[in-house]
Amino acid sequence: MFRLVSLNLNGIRSAATKGLLPWAESIGADCMGVQEVKAQAADIAGRFERVHDMHGHFHFAEKKGYSGVGVYSRKTPSDVVVGFGSPEFDAEGRYVELRFDTPQRKLSIISCYFPSGSSGEERQLAKFRFLALMTPYLQQLKAEREFILVGDVNIAHKEIDLKNWRSNQKNSGFLPEERAWMTHTLDELGLVDVFRTLNPKPEQYTWWSNRGQAWAKNVGWRLDYHLATPALAAKALREHIYLEQRFSDHAPLIIDYDFTI
């Protein structure tokens, strides 16, 4: 079995003060993709390079206290790819890919943090640029290898994926263009939203605003995903959104797969 976790930390140092490390040691993950590390290499050194028996590989933003992604892995990868070739977005620390290649198989585990457009038009336009670049990148990657991309995609795909969909149709994260990108990625590109293959139920959220008692009232959004190539997605066994503790404004998304790396 392969247990893969995705979690937007909203700051690794902040999450650590809320019990992240003991929890991560307890869950038996083989890999854990994290987003919004909000730290630099010097902040990680001596504190967060390892979580239990998993070693971390990171892509840091140039701007301090901003973005940043990582993948912790029990097994040493055959290669690590930092960034996806976009000067604009690689400067923001949004993509790290661990490759576990053998003569029989090429397999990648990716942690990716998609931009948010909620702060205004400028960042929304940046988000659209990111999506436009990510489409051909993922298409080429899918032609070359099997992969699971985990991360905060900052898009709720369908009405079922957020509580107040009617009032959010003109808001970033649920715009028609963003939802169309996700539909294209699944239907035309051929990737699989693994969580939804296992759990078709409503009110399955991974993010809650800090405003208006959203957490207490479960007024959430499903923004965190496992997007997998079909062969790997078909091996998904069970999913779990971990709600018992809160390490950030996102919840960990855990999926078990019937393969090993």
With contact defined as beta carbons under 8 Å apart, do 217 and 210 qualify?
no
Count of domains forming the chain? 1
Check: pTM over 0.85? Answer yes or no. yes
To which residue do tokens 């079909």 refer?
230
Q: What is the pLDDT of residues 77-104, one digit of tens each?
A: 999 999 999 999 999 999 999 999 999 9
Q: DSSP label at 35?
A: E
Looking at residue 138, which CATH number applies to its domain? 3.60.10.10
User: Taking the CA of residue 82 as centre, how many other CA atoms within 13 Å lie in the half-sphere pointing to its CB?
Assistant: 12
Q: DSSP label at 164?
A: T
Q: What is the pLDDT of residues 108-166, one digit of tens each?
A: 999 999 999 999 999 999 999 999 999 999 999 999 999 999 999 999 999 999 999 99
Q: How far apart are CA 92 and CA 89, in angstroms?
A: 5
Q: What is the pLDDT of residues 184-225, one digit of tens each?
A: 999 999 999 999 999 999 999 999 999 889 999 999 999 999
Domain assignment of residue 235, given as a range: 2-257
Helix, strand, or coil here: 183?
helix
List, by residue number, the catalytic residues: 152
Strand extents, DSSP E, 67-170: 69-73, 79-82, 95-99, 107-113, 146-152
